[in-house]
A and B are shown apart, each in its own frame.
Chain A
Amino acid sequence: MPASLDATLRLVVLTAFIFNTVLVLVYVERKVLGHIQQRLGPMRTGFHGVLQTPADAIKLLVKEDLTPTTADRWVFRLAPFLVFVPVFMMFITLPFTRELAVRHLDLGIFYLVSFSSLHIVGMIMAGWGSDNKYALLGGVRAAAQLISYELPLAFAILGVVLLAKTLNLQEVVELQATAPFLVLQPLGFLIFLISSLAELSRTPFDIPMAESEVVGGPMIEYSGMRWAMFFLAEYANLFVTSAVAAVVYLGGWLWPFLPPADLAGGWAAHLVGLAWFMAKTFALILAIIWLRGTLPRLRIDQLMGFAWKLLIPFSFLNLFITAAAAVYGGFLLLLGWVATGGFAYAIYAVSRRRP
């Protein structure tokens, strides 16, 4: 098979996968939120409403695509794609199993981190291009929030890189055969989770889209296809971020039951690996949905304070401990657990403080 055909095929499969995953995710979110609120969620389209999200998708596709007359036309029209494309790019190096990935990049983690911050551009463009004050406010909020949380996210993942001594995601997973990096990097995992919540603009950090304040933020003027693109990007991002957490910290397709020796070849091994990967990813996604069903949202200044005063110092600390462990011996990693306790106490103390 020529390389170009192979790549095209992989991309087509990947695109189909993303679209379907988003449909499933939206359905799962609506169902879980429904049950959290003691209702049933979608029930009428198909068995228990399984066809609700495809129906919604079709509805969005055939809806009129409006552009406000005063909008900055090209900025406005381009923005949804600039939000979606970086998220799509992140999927490319995501290893579902040992073999199953579009490309195993040697700079995988670096690639992921850099692309994860790119969709900010689209957000700002949407906020500016809409010529709407709510959108502008939301866009600026998005910029501030996403850039601030990019730092702790990158620093947290840097700890794993120090331990693994590689940026290749596949090798990172292979190194977790005995124990996932969660055990060695508890603080990094926590910081990664919290800052990826903010990166995703999910509750309690859904400030750019805050419905009761800026009514959807950058997306306020979008309709039909373009709005669907934002939606697609949001949920695809949710999946890919959870997947990265699963791969980097929870052992991806390996942990806990599958010894790497059994994995060599064979479809069954592949499928079990894929199932593990999906189970971990969806567990994280469900946790995020659960948080959404419980928490109110923070205010923008509290959010920024949380990033700069708490997350970034502790991500530095995590990096220090990991670096020290890499130089002086692995026992120092125990300090990571102490630091996690400190981190938990710091959050507790901050949350107790009242003006």
Chain B
Amino acid sequence: MIGVLKGLVQTWKTHWRKPVTVQYPDERLPLQPRYMGFPGLIWDQAIGEPFCTGCQVCMRYCPTQCMYVTMQDNPKQAAGESKRRKIVETFTIDISRCISCAICVEVCNFDAIEMTHAHERAGYYPDVVPDLPQLLKMSEDFRAQRGQKPARETRDVL
């Protein structure tokens, strides 16, 4: 009976404390800087093309095989603007299968892919397979959020 009374006192005290929960859609807890959402592709500001060369290493190491990448000859290289001989042609990630493990980031030889903070993808018609422009946009938004320089030209080129 003593223990029951102690428990009652405990719940009584807790009742007057401030709630620890947040009202989710209205307020959000801040994400940690390292938070891993879904991956996005980084834009090379200096040249004006993605860092990604379409080498498919991420595709091979992806544990859920959720990526699809193709490669093409880089037109800018022919024009002498870029050193990259090959460049990504298409890049899709099925984020309904992506497990946000960041293996793609780890194996990438060009540091072309990064984990963004995008994670709220629920909706009635969720866009679950972002393509290359959308992936670039994800990274762009992410960098804009974090105060890094956004890649404004993304939309114009691709």
Size bracket of the B interface:
10 to 19
Within the complex, the shortest CB–CB distance from B48 to chain A, in Å, comes to: 46
B11–A36 CB distance below 8 A: yes
Contacts known (A32-B15, A344-B1, A348-B1); A294 close to B7, Cβ less than 8 A: yes
B155 close to chain A: CB less than 8 A: no
A290 close to B20 (CB less than 8 A): no
How distant is the Cα of A32 from the Cα of B14 in the complex, in angstroms? 11
Which residues of B are found within 8 Å of A351, using beta-carbon distances? 1, 3-4
Whether, in the assembled complex, A295 has its beta carbon less than 8 Å from a beta carbon of chain B, the answer is: yes
Q: For chain A residues 288-308, which have a beta carbon within 8 Å of chain B?
A: 290-291, 293-295
Q: Mark A30-50, 1 if CB is under 8 A from B, else 0.
A: 001011111110011000000
B9 to chain A, nearest CB (A): 9
Contact of B4 among A32, A40, A293, A294 (CB under 8 A): A294
Summarize A's interface: helix, strand, loop or mixed. Answer: helix
B1 x A38 contact (CB < 8 A): no
From B10, which residue of chain A is reached at the shortest CB distance?
A294
Contacts of B1 in A (CB 8 A): 344, 347-348, 351
Q: State in angstroms the CA–CA spacing of A44 and B7 once bound together.
A: 30
Chain A: interface residue total (CB-CB under 8 A): 19
Q: A344-B1, A348-B2 are in contact. Are A290 and B12 (CB under 8 A)?
A: yes
| 30 sampled A-B residue pairs with Cβ under 8 A | A32-B15, A34-B19, A35-B16, A36-B11, A37-B14, A38-B17, A38-B20, A39-B19, A39-B20, A39-B21, A40-B19, A40-B23, A43-B23, A44-B23, A290-B8, A290-B11, A291-B8, A293-B11, A294-B4, A294-B7, A294-B8, A294-B10, A294-B11, A295-B7, A344-B1, A348-B1, A348-B2, A351-B1, A351-B3, A351-B4
